[in-house]
Structure formats: C-alpha cells, structure tokens
Amino acid sequence: MSDRYAVMGNPVAHSKSPQIHTRFAELTDQALTYGAVHVESPDFETEVGRFLQGDGKGLNITVPFKERAWALAQWRSERAERAGAANTLYRLEDGRLAADNTDGVGLVRDLRDNHGVKLAGARVLVLGAGGAVRGVMHPLLEAGVGSVLIANRTVSRAEELASLFTDEGEVSACGFDAIPAEAFDLVINGTSASLQGELPPVPAAVVAANTACYDMMYGAEPTPFCQWAMDLDAGRVIDGLGMLVEQAAEAFSVWRGVTPETASVIDQLRASLDTK
C-alpha cells in the first residue's frame, strides 16, 4: 500500500496541494497518495493523530490550524520554532510528532532562485504583521537581507513581531502612516488585503525602477498589490504562486528525502489559473 499524505484545514476544498504533490510524486517516481482532509476545529488534534499512523506519513497544515499544529508537536525545526506555527507534520523514527515550517524557505527560493532577486544586503519593507509574515522572517534574515521594516495598521503588532527577530538582524517596525517615503529594494505584501480586492496604504515612493514587489497572494489576474506595483513601473512584480509550489517542494523533501523540480509545476499551475 502506498504511503498517504494530505493537506488538513478548514476550508480545504480549494487547496492546490493535492495537484502539486501528486505531480511531485510523478516527477520523482515516489509511490504515494495525497489528498485533502477537511476538519472541524474541535477535532483537529484527534484527526492529526488518527491520520499519522500506519501508512499515514505526513500532513500539510493550512488555516486556521498552523499554530495548533506547532503546539501539538513534540519536536520542532528551528524555522518552525521561530515561526510559532507549522505547516508540515510527520513522525520521527521514535514516534514523536515532528513539525516544520516551509513557508519562508518557499518565499526565499522563489525570490532568489526563480526570479533572480538579490537578497544579500537588501533593504526590505514587509507589509503586515500576522502569521504569514512571522513565518517568513527567519528565512529572510538567514538569507542575508540588510534590514527589514515591518509596517502594519496596528503598530503594536508590528513592534511585537519585530522584537522576536532583532537577535537575527536589523528589524524595525512602524505603522502604515509612518512608512518612509523612500525606495526599498524589496517590498513584500504579507497582508490578506488582496483577498478583499484591496491595497494596503503604502506610499508610492517605496517603489523605484530597481524595486522588486512581491505579493504572497496570487490569482489568474494580477492582485491589487501587483497591479499597483506594475503601474509604478517596479523592476520586478511577482505573485505568490511560486512560493506555494516551493514551500510544497521543501515539505516533500522533508518527507521523502528527495527535492522535486518545480519550474514545470509552477508553469502548469499558472496555465490552469489562466484557463479558468
């Protein structure tokens, strides 16, 4: 019987993870199945334990359960520890539940490897101070960025998040209304504004001809943030589809010990978005 994997969340029907991991298995000749498991909030911990036994080998965890997955684990990678959330679960050889967080690695690989964005020494502006941003801070700083300014509507949340990472590099915080009117090398939208068709209140001056603008969200059409960046003639405008595939590839590698090729999977997903 094939090893079983799945994405677990609520909602989960929209997830592209089954499509991505099934393709990874084909590309790497791995015998496994990958499904989607919708769980109700009170049942999450029970369902994780039920799935990860026998031929159930690994889970990806999505909203709203990433923090609970982290808390449930008996061993955590450093990047999961720093993120305070987990998107990847599996059993260690001794049976303990292990947690990892591959979101930030996915972002860094998409920026650096897929799009050639120079991270070393970069001045970075990150919009938002929620779980999505916390999940990418450690890998960004590990990649050698020069500084990170976290801007958020509620300043105290940005300050609290920044304080968790000042031991790793130059990290500061401000409100949206206090973002300096000067160009950054990289602007990352980690808010959910794009899901509501909205744009965070950001001064146009943060974007110059050499600025890369990255939205963690994606869609068939440019997100409001990406459209704003294109209108300002940003040097690079990138949405989060590549991050989705790259974080999945890292989870696949954690589980299976083999890293799948991602470019063709990204292209396939992009084409499927464009035809809907």
Residue 40 in marked binding region: no
204 annotated as ligand-binding: no
270 in a known ligand binding site: no
**Is there a contact between 183 and 205 (Cβ–Cβ < 8 Å)?**
yes
> Which residues have CB under 8 Å from 155's CB, separation 6+?
173, 174, 175, 178
Q: Is 276 an active-site residue?
A: no
156 marked among binding-site residues: yes
Residue carrying the six token digits 């965890």: 61
Which residue in 169, 182, 110 sits closest to 138, CA to CA? 169
Find out whether 2 is annotated in a ligand binding site: no
**Known binder of ligand: residue 243?**
no
155 assigned ligand-binding residue: yes
Compute the distance between CA of residue 61 and CA of residue 79 in angstroms, rounded to an integer.
15
Cα first-last separation, the chain: 35
What's the rounded Cα separation, in Å, for the pair 164 and 176?
Answer: 20
Task: Determine which one of 57, 66, 118, 276 is catalytic.
Answer: 66
The reply to whether 57 sits in an annotated binding site is no
91 is in an annotated binding site: no
3-state secondary structure of 214: strand
Binding site, by residue number, is 15-17, 62, 78, 87, 103, 128-132, 152-157, 216, 218, 240, 247
Binding site for shikimate, by residue number, is 15-17, 62, 87, 103, 218, 247
Binding site for NADP(+), by residue number, is 78, 128-132, 152-157, 216, 240
Residues designated as active site = 66
